[in-house]
Structure 1
Amino acid sequence: MSSQGARYHQVTVDSGQFLTLRLGGEEYAIDILRVQEIRSYEEPTKMVNSPDFIKGVINLRGVIVPIVDLRLKLSIPKVDYTEFTVVIILNVRGTVVGAVVDAVSDVVTLQSENIKPAPQFESKIESRFIVGLANLGERMLIVMNMESLMSNTELGLVGAL
């Protein structure tokens, strides 16, 4: 393949259930096994010297949970917070973290053979954050690797293995 063409990153994904969510104009899917709960958005307590994409922290039943705005983390144009904006509470490698998304849609079952490698372009969204693309009827889902996204050293929340 020429250096001008798109590269494809081969991944293996287990079949299973995925939560679909919206960020900007795109629909994403994340492994439902990482999801602890879904909450309405409430303004977190801002922390000094935190990156822009970390909105702050909340106290969730005695656990201090950092809240990450995935739109900002993934350099997606900012969208206003609405009544549909939610926080998905995730458990990533034993660490609880919240992810702000525009909306959640539904839970879908995806077979591993239906998740195709995503073309890799030089873009702001790092390829290791994207597992692949899945067609579900008329819908194109971008399957995210939340472990990779939330263990990014830049995030500084969950240590890399």
Structure 2
Amino acid sequence: MLNTLETRPGQADAGGQEFLVFTLAAQEYGIDILKVQEIRGYDSQGVTRIANAPAFVKGVTNLRGVIVPIVDMRIKFNLETVAYDHQTVVVILNLASRVVGVVVDGVSDVLLLQSAQISAAPQFGTAFSTEYLTGIGTIDERMLILVDIEKLMTSEEMALVDSAVQ
């Protein structure tokens, strides 16, 4: 299964922004669609484990000649583990100077949110870090946790991934 997402110039007009919606443990998250390169089915046989890598790093895979680290978002977000199934996918992200894959339970759609539909991320004190959240998106009865995926994937702990992969 290989889906390439096509993005259109000018797609975020009038203050709106498009988000790819993915699920983890029945919660919906949104990431900037412009960071998404493609969506692939998850195949654990195609992932090579790296010694001494953080637990959230499943390993690396070869994507058309590019070595791509694969990060399990359930482990990264300290969620309960789940068996991978046919819904499990890897979202290939194109960030700054790197390509990274993130394993999620599934993707549902792409939503356009206007700025009025996006609220600031709530503050939880020191018990829960919100530094990687850009806000909460609401559309009809749905609430999306909006993640700054670039900030998350370029954080200090992700530098460990770079050193383990190289």
The TM-score with structure 2 as length reference comes to 0.83
Check 1:63–1:46 CA distance in 2 against 1; reply closer, same or farther (3 A cut): same
Question: Gaps (5+ residues) in structure 2?
Answer: 1-14
Contact 1:71 1:78 in 2 (8 A): yes
Quick one: which of 154, 159, 162 aligns to 1:151? 154
Quick one: which of 118, 121, 135 aligns to 2:121? 118
Match of 1:38 in 2: 39
**Structure 1 stretches of 4+ moved >2 Å:** 122-126
Give the residue type in structure 2 aligned to 1:150: M
Q: Taking every aligned residue pair, what percent have the same amino acid on both sides?
A: 49
Give the residue type in structure 1 aligned to 2:145: I
Q: Give runs of aligned pairs for residues 73-92 of structure 1, distance below 5 A.
A: 73-92=76-95
Check 1:113–1:35 CA distance in 2 against 1; reply closer, same or farther (3 A cut): same
- Distance across 1 between alignment mates of 2:118 and 2:42: 30
Quick one: which of 107, 110, 132 aligns to 2:110? 107
- Encode CA deviations 1:52-87: one digit per residue, 9 max, x unaligned: 000000000000000000111111111221110000
The structure richer in helix per residue is 2
- Encode CA deviations 1:19-77: one digit per residue, 9 max, x unaligned: 00001120000000000000000111000010000000000000000000011111111
Quick check: 1:128 aligned with 2:156?
no
- Distance across 2 between alignment mates of 1:69 and 1:83: 16
Match of 1:6 in 2: none
- Distance across 1 between alignment mates of 2:25 and 2:127: 15
Quick check: 1:47 aligned with 2:42?
no
Equivalent position SS for 1:149: helix
Question: Gaps (5+ residues) in structure 1?
Answer: 1-13
- Distance across 1 between alignment mates of 2:25 and 2:59: 21
Task: Please report how far the alpha carbon of residue 122 of structure 1 lies from its aligned counterpart in structure 2 after TM superposition.
Answer: 3.8
Equivalent position SS for 1:120: coil
Check 1:105–1:57 CA distance in 2 against 1; reply closer, same or farther (3 A cut): same
Contact 1:75 1:124 in 2 (8 A): no
Match of 1:8 in 2: none
Give the residue type in structure 2 aligned to 1:41: Y
Match of 2:16 in 1: 15
Q: CA RMSD in A?
A: 1.5
Q: What is the total number of aligned residue pairs between the two structures?
A: 145
- Distance across 2 between alignment mates of 1:80 and 1:112: 36
Quick check: 1:97 aligned with 2:100?
yes
- Distance across 1 between alignment mates of 2:105 and 2:85: 8
Contact 1:74 1:124 in 2 (8 A): no
Equivalent position SS for 1:81: coil
The TM-score with structure 1 as length reference comes to 0.85
